[in-house]
Structure 1
Amino acid sequence: MSRWTIDEPATLDFDGVVALKATLIAGSISVLASEERPSVLVGDVEGPPLVIGHEAGMLTITHERLWEGVLSFLRTHKTRAAITVTVPRDCPVTLNLVSADAVVTGMTARTSIRSAAGDVTLDGVTGDIDANTVSGAIEAQGLDGKVSFTSVSGDLALAGGAVDTLAARTVGGRIAADVDLAAKGRIEVNTVSGEVALRIPESAGAEVSLHSAAGRIETSFALDREERAVTRSVSGTLGDGSGRLSVNTVSGSVALLGRGDPSEIGTPGMEK
């Protein structure tokens, strides 16, 4: 195994990378799809040095004495690094972040993200995405595939692209998605108090079920509405009903809107 300890700006190149796993306390990491030779560019390191390993195509990046670094970060906020990684677009990516921010672009394999407070931007990622945050936000555009999102208070915003499956669960985070729904695709959103705003093509085919115990439900589609003393629901069939779209909240508001022009993509607004 090749191993480097980095405590100052540096650049490393590799013969081949088949998977990337990075753990970062604070700072930033950018993962870029590239046809060029895989590389790691370290622009800044503060606190414990980085340890970079490369074995059998597995590229790993982490802070030296990681847990000591976490404790030091909590005490002094001086553990951080700025990293840019280029890898083949079909390279699976795993990121574990404490408060570091991340950008991932152009990847086609599975992307897995665990973040406490760091924000994540995804651009043109077409592989399966698994994102779990505490308070960190996920913003994405041009996705195509399966998206799984779980958070406590972090927000999710998707704009553009198509999803086969969107499964989003949050306590208080807001969910906003303006996407195409693939044939037989599924969108399932569950929140406690988080607001939900979805926009899909008016031509989409799906069985729709929207429920909220105390929140407002609005839709531009002609669906059946039912209001009881303690719950509100809207349901019905769009087009051929081949897909499924369901939203369940306790007190969050729900908005389901349609758009006629597939090229008219934008993230739907939300009330504060």
Structure 2
Amino acid sequence: MARWTVDEPATLDFDGVVAFKATLIAGSVSVLASDERPSIMVGDVEGPPLVIGHEAGMLTITHERLLEGVLSWLRTHKARAAITVTVPRDCPLTLNLVSADAVITGMTARTSIRSGSGDVTLDGVTGDVDANTVSGAIEGQGLDGRVAFTSVSGDLALAGGDIDTLTARTVSGRIAADIDLAGSGRIEVNTVSGEVALRIPESAGVRVSLQSAAGRIETSFPELDRAERAVSRGVSGRLGDGSGRLSVNTVSGGVALLGRAGDGDADVSTPEMEK
């Protein structure tokens, strides 16, 4: 196994990268799809050095003291780095972030993200995305494929893209998505108090179920049926051929489902909702 310890700005090149994994406490990591030779550019390091490994095509980055265990990390006052990585676009990614931010561009393979409070931006990522955060936000533009998001209070914002499946679960985080559904695609959102704002094409074919115990539900689709009960309210029905599925369940969060005419620019702003 080739291994480097880096404690100052440096650039490394590699052959045969088939997967990439980074564990970063603070700072930033940018992962860019490239047809050029894979590389890592370290711009800044504070605290423990970075340890970079390359074995059997697996490229890894972590802080040195993390290799000694969690207790060693807890004794570290500073552990920060700024990293830019270029890898083949079909390279699977795994990012474990504490408070570090990340930008991922142009990847076509699976991307797995675990974040505490770091924010993540995804641009033109067409592989499956699996993101779990505590309070970190995920923003995506031009995503395709499957997106799975789980958080406590982190927000999810998606604009553009042709999504096969979107599943989002959060306690108080806000979910906002302006997307197209691929064929018989599926959107499933569950929150406790987080607001949900979805916009889909007016021509979409989808079966809709919107349920909230205490939150207000708004929709721009008049063909959907509204039901008001003593302990809950709901909106349901079929749009177009009903080949897709769209469901939202929330306890006290507001829900908005809007239609988009034509191919205008996506916008994930949340409409004002009465309480």
Same fold (TM > 0.5): yes
**What residue in structure 2 maps to residue 227 of structure 1?**
228
Deviations 1:132-175 (A, max 9, x none): 00000000000011000000000000001110000000000000
**What residue in structure 1 maps to residue 19 of structure 2?**
19
Shift of 1:263: 3.1
The answer as to 2:135 corresponding to 1:112 is no
Distance 1:106 1:119, change over 3 A: same
**What residue in structure 1 maps to residue 251 of structure 2?**
250
CA distance in 2, matches of 1:262, 1:57: 41
**What residue in structure 2 maps to residue 87 of structure 1?**
87
CA distance in 2, matches of 1:152, 1:106: 27
SS across alignment from 2:73: helix
List alignment gaps of at least 5 residues for structure 2. none
Shift of 1:68: 4.8
List alignment gaps of at least 5 residues for structure 1. none
Shift of 1:79: 1.3
**What residue in structure 2 maps to residue 37 of structure 1?**
37
Q: Look up the equivalent residue of 2:156 and give its one-letter code.
A: L
Shift of 1:81: 0.3
**What residue in structure 1 maps to residue 74 of structure 2?**
71
CA distance in 2, matches of 1:58, 1:42: 18
**What residue in structure 2 maps to residue 54 of structure 1?**
54
Which aligned runs of 4 or more in structure 1 are off by greater than 6 angstroms? none
**Cα pair 1:69 1:79 within 8 Å, conserved:** no
CA distance in 1, matches of 2:188, 2:113: 20
Q: Look up the equivalent residue of 1:49 and give its one-letter code.
A: P
Shift of 1:69: 5.6
% identity of equivalent residues:
81
- TM-score normalised by L of structure 2: 0.96
CA distance in 1, matches of 2:73, 2:233: 45
Q: Look up the equivalent residue of 2:251 and give its one-letter code.
A: V
Shift of 1:190: 0.2
SS across alignment from 1:65: helix
The answer as to 2:62 corresponding to 1:28 is no
Q: Look up the equivalent residue of 1:153 and give its one-letter code.
A: S
User: 1:169-188 to 2 correspondence within 5 Å?
Assistant: 169-188=169-188
Deviations 1:10-29 (A, max 9, x none): 00000120000000000000
CA distance in 2, matches of 1:271, 1:22: 39
**What residue in structure 2 maps to residue 189 of structure 1?**
189
SS across alignment from 2:74: helix
CA distance in 2, matches of 1:232, 1:166: 23
**Cα pair 1:178 1:268 within 8 Å, conserved:** no
Shift of 1:262: 2.0
CA distance in 1, matches of 2:155, 2:265: 22
Shift of 1:269: 2.2
User: 1:261-272 to 2 correspondence within 5 Å?
Assistant: 261-271=262-272
Shift of 1:32: 0.2
CA distance in 2, matches of 1:270, 1:16: 48
